[in-house]
Amino acid sequence: MSFKQKINQETLPQHIAIIMDGNGRWAKGFGKLRIFGHQNGVTAVREALEGCVEIGVKYLTLYAFSSENWNRPKIEVNALMELLVETLAKETKTFLENDIRLNTIGNIQELPQSCQTKLADTVALTQNNSRCVLTLALSYGSRAEIVDATKSIAKQVAEGKLKLEDINEKTISDHLYTVDMPDPDLMIRTSGEQRISNYLLYQMAYTEFCFSPKMWPEFTREDLFEAIYNYQQRERRFGKTSEQL
């Protein structure tokens, strides 16, 4: 029996976040440049997205380019930006045919203009789609996101639009980039690394983690289904005891 057949549709994660790690190391294993890994990683993105659509996961968020990734060699960064534009151009038809809405989080204004334009065009074209929301975290860092949220809240307090005593957890959530989506239920990281790398720090307070030994270009739809099945075997208590659930 496949993992897909074992999945309980009643307890699907609403939101899956993925750190797509291992492209460069995978390419190095073939004696290729790192960009070869990124290019092949596009297939894994398609597998994960189609898998989510297939079983009914509503939100998929991919850590596509972190704010720290700008420190990588310029040739790799430029190649990644070109790959992003090319991929969006190829996949727009797929988004429309499968009712997928594209969303972005992060400091998008830091991206090359060609990337900003293509992203904006694709977001606009898919804005009414509702089967699945694919969010690309680009030039994204969770600490910067929290700083931005803090500044926005402080500005409202200074302007008298918000009382200090009224600030609560929801206030913070409402000022994060992810305001329009639920917190991730499951976070998957490939390549065997076991850290969250400044990714959705506030949102993942009660997220279940899955660390896969596979490099991202090796990640398949069945690997996604296995991660979801294993997630469903866990007891999510949110601070309560088993008896209270």
**134-172 confidence digits (pLDDT tens):** 999 999 999 999 999 999 999 999 999 999 999 999 999
Pick the catalytic residue from 23, 69, 103, 180. Answer: 69
Residue 39 falls within a domain, yes or no? yes
Beta-carbon count within 10 A of 78 CB: 12
Q: Which residues pair with 61 in a beta bridge?
A: 17, 135
Buried b (16+ CB within 10 A) or exposed e, 118-134: bbeebbeebeebeebbb
Of 242, 178, 216, the C-alpha closest to 14 is 178
Tokens of 55: 């079983």
Residue 218 falls within a domain, yes or no? yes
Residue 245 falls within a domain, yes or no? no
Residue 227 falls within a domain, yes or no? yes
Is 40 a catalytic site residue? Answer: no
Pick the catalytic residue from 8, 21, 128, 185. Answer: 21
Supply the pLDDT for residue 139.
96
Whether 181 has a pLDDT exceeding 80, the answer reads: yes
Residue 173 falls within a domain, yes or no? no
Whether 244 has a pLDDT exceeding 70, the answer reads: no
**59-115 confidence digits (pLDDT tens):** 999 999 999 999 999 999 999 999 999 999 999 999 999 999 999 999 999 999 999
Whether 238 has a pLDDT exceeding 80, the answer reads: no
Residue 245's pLDDT band (cuts 50, 70, 90): low
Residue type for position 22: G
**32-54 confidence digits (pLDDT tens):** 999 999 999 999 999 999 999 99
Of 195, 220, 187, the C-alpha closest to 68 is 195
Supply the pLDDT for residue 239.
72
Supply the pLDDT for residue 243.
66
Is 21 a catalytic site residue? Answer: yes
Number of structural domains in the chain: 1
Residue 118 falls within a domain, yes or no? yes
Residue 94 falls within a domain, yes or no? yes
Whether 225 has a pLDDT exceeding 90, the answer reads: yes
Residue 242 falls within a domain, yes or no? no
Task: Report the chain's mean pLDDT, rounded to a whole number.
Answer: 95
Supply the pLDDT for residue 1.
81
Question: Could you tell me which residue, 238 or 73, shows the higher pLDDT?
Answer: 73
- Residues of the domain holding 203: 11-141+183-235
Supply the pLDDT for residue 32.
95
> Which domain CATH number covers 61?
3.40.1180.10
